[in-house]
Amino acid sequence: MQTLSLNAFFNECGAEILKAVRAPEYILPTLILPVAFYALFAFAMPNSGTSGARYLLATYGVFAVMGPAIFGFGVGVANERDRGWLKIKRASPAPAISYIGAKIMVTLIFASLALIPIYLLAGFRAQIVLARSDWFLLFGLHMLSVLPFILIGLTLGFSFGSNGAVAVSNIVFLGMAALGGLWLPAFLFPAPLQKFAATLPSYQLAEIALAIVGASSQTGAERIPLQNLNIVAIMTIILAGLAIWAWRRQRD
Amino acid sequence: MLKKIFFITITALVGFLIFMLFVLPTTSDKEAVVFSGNSFAVKSIRVFDGQKMHDNYSLIIKDGVITRMGERVNIPKGLQTYDGANQTLLPGLLDAHTHIFGPALKDSLVFGVTTNFDMFTRAQTLKGMQLKRNGILETTEADLWSAGIMATAPGGHGTQYGFAIETLTRPDEASAWVARRIAEGSDYIKLGYMPGRANLNSLDLQTASSLIKAGHEQGVLVVAHISTLAAAQDMLDACIDGLVHIFADMPASEEFIAQAAAANIFIIPTLAVMASVAGEKPGGDLLANELVTPYLTAAQKQGLAAGFGTAWPDFNLDIALENTQKLHKAGVAILAGSDAPNPGTTHGASLHQEMALLVRAGLTPLEALNAATSAPALAFGLKDRGRIEVGTRADFVVIGGNPDENISLSFAVDNIFKNGYAVKRVRQSISNTDTSPRLANAKLGHFDTDLNPPEDLAAQGFAWSATDDKIANGKSEAKISHINLGADKTGGALRVSAQVRPGFFFPWAGAYFGHPAQKAHNIEAYKTLSFQVRGTPGVYTAMIFVSGSAGAPPSQNFNITNDWQTIILNIEDFRGLNPKLFAGLAITAGPTPGVFDYEIDTVTLGK
């Protein structure tokens, strides 16, 4: 049984990759958009400088992994559910976990593909310098950032039909990015919006990333990344509950 | 098959990721990353906190703000640390009287002036300055507070710069005028009050008083430009907050001094510009100072070499120094301000000179430092700068030596920090002036048959063309054409039709002889510039341009009449000109607006 489920998992992963390669129009925008935005805001804008590129490396890293996570799950799952593919899956001997697991693995692969060009630009074009351990830590954090967004994507995928999922995913994706301070620093927001930003996982993850790169905090307040991590953990648990609820609901 | 796809993908990807994370630049790869970011520590340094000196202090700066300081400060391991042995750390300097044009904010920062109080500039200069000075970001420019445009009467001081400003004549206009300045972003109001001057209009006392009242009602400071004791007394009676010059016509009376001290006003003597008016050539001292010259741009050097040229009525530098000293002794706050970029001064460097002049007036070096740091911050109500204490922003000038022993040591700037970021002081490249080619011909234009210069000059790339201030967003217009009858009757001349209109600070329109790429040519061999000219009577200007300079060019004025005459100008009277870098010259109408038609012939450089 164990070998069977592993085997199924590997095959599912391969199939997902093949799907992306054969229909690249789904995944390409989510890979290109973040690095294009990063290049625009970190280099093309006047007065950006190294400190700007450093700041944005942290936030655009989070932005980069959001795309594959929310769209891969939100739209992907909704599509497959619409076409009855999920029902077939449930009837097949492959366990549900290998289906979800493969989707997570492929999301991680695409998330890292979205991160690579941003890291290369930051390191070799903007000359951003970090301790080796901090580069690893930052990358680890950015990969970990996939988790809450996968859960959001899953919830959306289970809750909406394929057309609805596209629309809602977009709103959630853009909202998380803009209001979470991933495009422009949250300290530029008016005070009520800043408070709202703190309720978004994108903002909390960005704060941890900013602490790792040592970006200055414009409010003068000290960053306490452990606190942000706790908040993210709680958010993730809530989102997991939400995803399970949505999964149960769509099955009934 | 699917399994294989997955394994190949994952292996390649993980391999690349590990490779990438191992080649990204890291801290140990580079020496130069010391003082990246704006968090660091300073240890064992002499600190001037805005009032007093402290030996052997340490500071911790986090995100551009001082978080700890004192004799015993534990510096966390791993924090980049600046060792300040034998150095003095001053607050970033505040220049209490400047005018911001062009690269002024950049030039300021190069000499550790991290904050400028502008006393009259165009309203559009104010855009975005508030956002910038509130942030703690990396920057190459000083922060700016500004009066915006100044309050003056039609035809008064401030209207001669060629751009239209909103003037006022009646007291009942004051309140709305002040409100419009505040809406434009002015931080305080500056008015010009110079009654009784023969050829200069001024606000009358009622209007000036109403402006002061309106400013106070609307919550801003009001400062005044005055030049006499009588005018200063009027302003004091009208509850002015500060005077932006010291008066130099007569010694301050006992009553004035007592009243000024009791009213708690501040005075910005601007002794550097006073010394320039007095013909002391303070700019020449800066140009001779080898701690200064490597960091001056070509435009700054030109400004420093310039002078006012004319003697001013009611002006005596000794009286200015004496008044400064007396008012200081009586407890009136004295603020250091350079009035740059007036002739003989420049942004940044001149503020150091102002401190030295304040010491000459009788202040101690510490009092002079105070006048350029905490005193202006206090006078203008800024809490985040001008002092070194926990919570202020990390704007620092690090001086090699102790300026308390000798104020002129302040020129020995070792390091500058703005918002906690180290400022790179760029040495201006000394252009390879000896290699520039000689100008091929001394006859720049005879216009016998057309407007072309002699062939050898044309081969060097020189040509005659029209020039006007449109290139500086002005509104003047010039056209040139060839006419057949010139001064010598044997050949033609160049005709200029010029319309000089307000719109730029120094409006101009005329004829230009120059190299399109501004390539430098050597005219050291020549002593004079001469040309024949006639046309609309009036005052005209000859300017010489040098390669790589963006500032106001050195110039001389001359008169034109209806009859042909030969004008001969000495090259050395083009103050600040480097004859090795000649790139062109212009013969123009302006800055007085009007329509001018004039003809030029036989433009020649003479030995």
Nearest by CB: B5 against A14, A49, A220: A14
A140-149, A201-210, B35-44, B322-331: segment of lowest average pLDDT: B35-44
Element holding A5 (H helix, E strand) = helix A2-22
Lowest mean pLDDT among A48-52, B215-219, B324-328, B556-560: A48-52
What integer is the mean pLDDT of B80-96?
Answer: 91
Query: How high is the pLDDT of residue A222?
Result: 64
Q: Return the pLDDT at A116.
A: 95
Residue B34 has pLDDT above 50, yes or no: no
- The answer to whether A188 contacts chain B (CB < 8 Å) is no
pLDDT of residue B105: 95
Q: Rounded distance, CA B145 to CA B185, Å? A: 9
For B266-333, the DSSP string reads: EE---HHHHHHHTT--HHHHHHT-TTTGGG--HHHHHHHH----SPPTT--HHHHHHHHHHHHHTT-E
B89 versus A11: the higher-pLDDT residue is B89
Residue A225 has pLDDT above 50, yes or no: yes
Cβ–Cβ under 8 Å, residues B474 and B468? yes
**Cβ of B329: how many Cβ atoms within 10 Å?**
12
Q: Which comes out higher in pLDDT, residue B81 or B217?
A: B217
Is residue B546 within a helix (H) or strand (E), and if so which, with residue range? Answer: strand B538-546
Q: Copy the structure tokens of residue A194.
A: 């800043």
**With an 8 Å Cβ cutoff, is B404 touching chain A?**
no
Is B563 exposed, middle or buried, given 0-12, 13-18 or 19+ CB atoms closer than 10 A? exposed
Q: Where are the domains of chain B?
A: 38-149+244-430, 152-236, 433-606
A143: closest chain B residue by CA: B17
- Local confidence band at B3 (pLDDT 50, 70, 90 cut-offs): confident
Q: Do the beta carbons of residue A181 and residue A197 sit within 8 Å?
A: yes
Contacts 24+ apart (CB under 8 A), B14-17: B16/A116, B17/A112, B17/A116, B17/A139
pLDDT of residue B433: 47
Q: What helix, strand, coil percent values describe chain A, rounded to 5?
A: 80, 0, 20
Crossing angle for the helix pair A201-213 and A49-82, to the nearest 10 degrees: 140
Interface test with B, best of A21, A216, A222 (most B CBs within 10 A): A216
Token duo for residue B202: 């001024």
Strand order in the sheet with B509-514: B463-468, B509-514, B582-589, B538-546, B555-560
Cα angle for residues A209, A213, A214 (degrees, 5° grid): 110
| Three-class secondary structure assignment of B442-479 | CEEECCCCCCCCCHHHHHCCCEEEEEEHHHHCCCCEEE
Q: B598 and chain A: CB distance < 8 Å anywhere?
A: no
Determine the distance in angstroms separating the CA of B183 from the nearest CA of chain A, rounded to an integer: 21
Structure tokens at B36: 């990246």
| Cβ neighbours, 10 Å, residue B451 | 18
Nearest CB neighbour to B63, from listed A49, A120, A216: A216
Greater confidence (A235 vs B165) lies with: A235
The arithmetic mean of pLDDT across residues B346-366, rounded, is 96
| CA-based nearest residue to A133, from A212, A50, A223 | A212
Task: Output the pLDDT for position B276.
Answer: 92
Which range (A74-78, B50-54, B380-384, B528-532) has the least confidence?
Answer: A74-78
Report the range of poorest mean pLDDT among A145-159, B42-56, B264-278, B569-583: B569-583
Asked whether the ipTM of the predicted complex exceeds the cut of 0.85, the reply is no
Among the partner residues A15, A116, A127, nearest to B20 by beta-carbon distance: A116
Q: Do B152-236 and B433-606 come out as alike in CATH topology? A: no
Residues of chain B in contact with residue A128, where contact means CB-CB under 8 angstroms, are 25
- Scan for tokens 């039709």, then name that residue: B497
| Rounded Cα gap, residues B421 and B245, in angstroms | 33
In the predicted model, is pLDDT for residue A43 greater than 90?
Answer: no
Distance from the Cα of A163 to chain B's closest Cα (Å) equals 29
Would you call B137 helix, strand, or coil by DSSP?
A: coil
Closest by CA to B144, choosing from B185, B205, B181, is B185
For residues B48 and B369, the answer to whether their CB atoms sit within 8 Å is yes
Question: What's residue B108's pLDDT?
Answer: 96
Using a CB–CB cutoff of 8 Å, tell me whether B139 touches chain A.
yes
> Is the pLDDT reported for residue B533 higher than 80?
yes
Domain B152-236: which CATH number of 3.40.50.10910, 3.30.2010.10, 3.20.20.80, 3.30.70.2190: 3.40.50.10910
A217 touches chain B (CB under 8 A): yes
B21 touching chain A per CB within 8 A? yes
Report whether the peptide linkage leading into residue B341 is cis, meaning its omega lies within 30 degrees of zero.
Answer: yes
Average pLDDT of chain B?
89
The verdict on A189 touching B (C-beta cutoff 8 Å) is no
Residue with tokens 């240890």: B43
Is B433-606 in CATH node 3.20.20.70?
no
Q: Give percent of chain A with pLDDT exceeding 70.
A: 92
Residue B432 pLDDT class (50, 70, 90 cuts): very low
Q: Are B422 and B430 in contact (CB under 8 A)?
A: no
The packing angle between helices A225-251 and A201-213, to 10°, is 150
pLDDT tens-digit readout, B191-246: 999 998 767 789 999 999 999 999 999 999 999 999 999 999 999 999 999 999 99
Q: Report CA-CA distances (Å) from A174 to A183, A187, B441.
A: 10, 18, 67
Nearest CA distance, A61 vs chain B (angstrom) = 14
Query: And the tokens for A201?
Result: 């996982």
| Residue in A with minimal Cα distance to B132 | A47
Rounded Cα–Cα distance for residues B577 and B596 (Å)? 27
Amino acid at B209: S
Query: Looking at residue A41, what DSSP letter applies?
Result: I
With an 8 Å Cβ cutoff, are B36 and A129 in contact?
Answer: yes
User: Percent of chain B having pLDDT more than 70?
Assistant: 94
Which residue in the set A116, A136, A220 is minimally distant from B63, CB to CB? A220
Interface test with chain A among B9, B132, B424, by most A beta carbons within 10 Å: B9
Determine the residue of chain A that is closest to B420 in CA distance. Answer: A216
- Find the DSSP H helices in B185-244: 205-217, 229-237
Residues 6+ apart with CB under 8 A from B164: B502, B503
A119 contacts B2? CB cut-off 8 A: no
* Band of pLDDT at residue B172, cut at 50, 70 and 90: very high
A219 touches chain B (CB under 8 A): no
B441 falls in which pLDDT band (50, 70, 90)? confident
Between B430 and B68, residue with greater pLDDT: B68
Alpha-carbon dihedral angle through residues B452, B458, B462, B463, given to the nearest 10 degrees: 20
Beta bridge partners of A229: none
Mean pLDDT across chain A, nearest whole number? 85
> What percent of chain B stands above pLDDT 90?
59
Q: Mind telling me how many Å the CA of B107 is from chain A's nearest CA?
A: 17
Q: What is the DSSP string of A155-218?
A: HHHHHS-HHHHHHHHHHHHHHHHHHTTSSS-GGGS-HHHHHHHTTSHHHHHHHHHHHHHTPPPT
Can you tell me the distance from the alpha carbon of B603 to that of B607, in angstroms, rounded to the nearest whole number?
14
pLDDT at B180: 95
For A177, A204, B54, B292, the CA distances from A226, given in Å and listed in that order, are 22, 10, 38, 49
CB contact under 8 A, A214 and B39: yes
Structure tokens belonging to residue B200: 């200069």
CA-based max dimension of chain B: 101
Contacts of A56 in chain B (CB under 8 A): none
Please tell me which residue, B75 or B203, carries the higher pLDDT value: B203
Q: Nearest CA to CA, how far is B3 from chain A (Å)?
A: 5
**Is the CB of residue A163 less than 8 Å away from at least one CB of chain B?**
no
Based on its alpha-carbon atoms, the radius of gyration of chain A, rounded to whole angstroms, reads 19
pLDDT band of B486, cuts 50, 70, 90: confident
Q: Does A132 touch chain B (CB under 8 A)?
A: yes
CB contact under 8 A, A14 and B21: no
Q: What are phi and psi of B83, to 5 degrees?
A: -90, 115
- Is residue B480 within 8 A of residue B586, CB to CB? The reply is no
pLDDT for A90 equals 74
Q: What residue in A sits closest to B79 (Cα-Cα)? A: A214
Return the closest-CA partner of residue B451 out of B498, B509, B512, B497. B512
The nearest CA of chain A is from the CA of B423 a distance in Å of 13
Q: Which residues of A touch B19 (CB under 8 A)?
A: none
Pair B277, B345: CB distance under 8 Å? no
Cβ <8 Å between B2 and A10: yes
Q: Cβ A51–B137 below 8 Å, yes or no?
A: yes
Higher pLDDT, B550 or B348: B348
The model's pLDDT over B391-425, given as tens digits with 9 standing for 90+, comes to: 999 999 999 889 999 999 999 998 999 999 988 88
Which residue from A17, A49, A222 is facing B6, i.e. has the nearest CB? A17
> Do residue B26 and residue A132 have CB atoms under 8 angstroms apart?
yes
Q: What is the pLDDT of residue A217?
A: 60
**Looking up tokens 């289970």, which residue turns up?**
A158
Q: Which residue of B has its CA nearest to A119?
A: B24
Model pLDDT for residues A141-162, shown as the tens digit of each residue = 999 999 999 999 999 988 988 8
